[in-house]
Amino acid sequence: MEIPSANTNKEKINPGDHLANERTFLAWIRTSIALMGFGFVVVKFSLFVKQLSLVITDKIVLPGKGFSATIGIILVAIGALMALLSYFRYRRIEKQLLRNTYFPSFALSLLLTVAIVLVSGLLLWYLLPNT
pLDDT score, position 3: 43
pLDDT score, position 33: 96
Over residues 17-71, the pLDDT tens digits come to: 999 999 999 999 999 999 999 999 988 877 777 777 777 777 666 555 567 788 8
Q: What is the mean pLDDT of the chain?
A: 81
DSSP assigned state of 97: H
In the chain, where the domains are located? 15-60, 62-130
Compute the residue count for the chain: 131
pLDDT score, position 1: 44
Q: Is the model's pLDDT at 92 over the cut of 60?
A: yes
pLDDT score, position 11: 65
Cβ pair 86, 29 in contact under 8 A: yes
pLDDT score, position 72: 86
The candidate with the shortest Cα–Cα distance to 69, out of 88, 49, 45, 36, is 45
